[in-house]
Amino acid sequence: MADDPRNYIEQTQARAVAYEGKELSPDEMAKHFAKAEMDERVNILDQLDRDMSGGELNLNEAARLHGYVKALQGMHHTLRKVGR
């Protein structure tokens, strides 16, 4: 998946649709995100931040992505507080 141009959210949604038949909500995705180690979570959040600041998204895509990013950031901060 290193050559996959999709970001974490797009990859996770594609797997969810393939296995569960539906997309994940931001909270459901945050639960999957919690399984990653801290370094991986930081890298994912950094990449998503670059994607959002790139200016290539339309307003609807940016708003949708923002909801997911906020859920992932919240989970990351919660896990950091408990030492994970």
pLDDT tens per residue across span 16-73: 999 999 999 999 999 999 999 999 999 999 999 988 887 778 888 888 999 999 999 9
Using the predicted structure, report yes or no on whether residue 1 has a pLDDT greater than 60. no
Using the predicted structure, report yes or no on whether residue 15 has a pLDDT greater than 60. yes
Q: What is the pLDDT of residue 84?
A: 82
| Alpha helix stretches (DSSP H) within 21-83 | 26-33, 38-53, 59-81
Residues in the chain: 84
73/49 Cα distance (integer angstroms)? 11
Q: What is the pLDDT of residue 58?
A: 85
Predicted TM-score (pTM) of this structure = 0.86
